[in-house]
Amino acid sequence: MELNNAIYKSRQRTNAIGLTLSMGAMVLGLVVLLWILSVLLSNGLAALDWNMFTQSTPAPGSEGGGLANAIVGSLMMVGFSVLVSTPIGVFAGVYLAEYGDESKTAELTRFVTDIMLSAPSIVLGLFVYAIAVATVGNFSGWAGSLALSLIAVPVVVRTTENMLRLVPGSLREAAFALGAPRWKVATLVTLRAAKSGVMTGLLLAVARISGETAPLLFTALNNQFFSTDMGAPMANLPVVIFQFALSPYDNWIRLAWGGALLITLSVLVLNIVARVFLREKKPG
C-alpha cells in the first residue's frame, strides 16, 4: 500500500512539473507575441492614412507618398497565384486521396510535395529566377506569381488529401452502390463533403504566400511607380517593407510599419475566416 502511494505521489509530482513547464512556455510565447503585436500596432496605426492607399511609394528623402502600387502589385500576384495553385492543388489532392493508394506516381507526388513544403522559400525563388528571369532577361510579376504558386501548391495538395481521407468510407460505398462512376464519387461526393476543409487549406495557403519576401526579391523585384503590367518589375508589399525598413529615411520607415500592419491584419482576417466561417456546422 505504501509503495502504491509513493508511486502515486511521484506521478503527481511529475505531472505538476510537466504542467508547470508547459504553462510557463505558453505564457512566455504569449508575452513575446503580445509584445510584437503591441509594437506593430503602435507604429503601424500611426502610419495608416488615406494617402497610403491612394499614392505610390515616394522617392528617397521625400515626404508623403503611400503604398498603393505595392498593394495593387501584391493583390495581382497573389490573385494569379491562387488561380494557378487552386485547381492544380485540389485535383492533385483528389488524385492522391482517391486513386493513389497503390500508385508509384502518387508516392513520387507525395515525396515531391513533402520536399516543397519543407524547402526554404528563397530556394524556390532562386529556381524561378533561373528558369523565368535569367532566361528571359528581366524581372516580372509573372515570375513572382510563379514563385508564390510553387509555395502554395503543396499546401493545397496536402490539405486537400488529408481532408478527403477524413470523409467516411461508407459515403463512398453508398455512392458506388447507386452506380456512380469513380470520378463522380471523387468530385461530387467526397470533395463536396470536404469542401470546408479544402477551402480552409486554400485560405491558409494564401495567408502564407501573402508575406513572402525572398521569392519576390529574385522574381518580381520592385517598382517605384504604379504599374499593372505583369510582364515588368512590379511593386509588392513584402519587398517594399524590406527595403523601406532598412532605409535611413523616417518617412520610408513609417510606411514600412504601415505595410507590415496591413499584411498582419490581412493574414489575421484570412485565418479567422478559415477557422470560423468555414468550419463544419454541427447538426442540430
DSSP character at residue 57: P
**pLDDT score of 254 more than 70:** yes
Confidence (pTM): 0.86
Helix axes 104-118, 141-165, angle to 10 degrees: 120
**pLDDT score of 279 more than 90:** no
**pLDDT score of 278 more than 80:** no
Mean pLDDT, rounded, of the chain:
89
Query: Could you report how far apart the first and last alpha carbons of the chain are, in Å?
Result: 50
Across 100-126, average pLDDT: 88
CA dist., res. 103 & res. 206, Å (int): 30
**pLDDT score of 131 more than 90:** yes
Handedness of CA 43, 47, 52, 56 (dihedral sign): negative
Percent of the chain exceeding pLDDT 90 equals: 61
Residues 105 and 275: beta-carbon distance below 8 Å: no
And the C-alpha cell for 29? Answer: 510565447
Burial of 224: CB neighbours in 10 Å, binned 0-12, 13-18, 19+: middle
Give 223-240 pLDDT, tens digit per residue: 889 999 999 999 999 999
Write down the pLDDT at residue 178: 87
Identity of the amino acid at 253: I
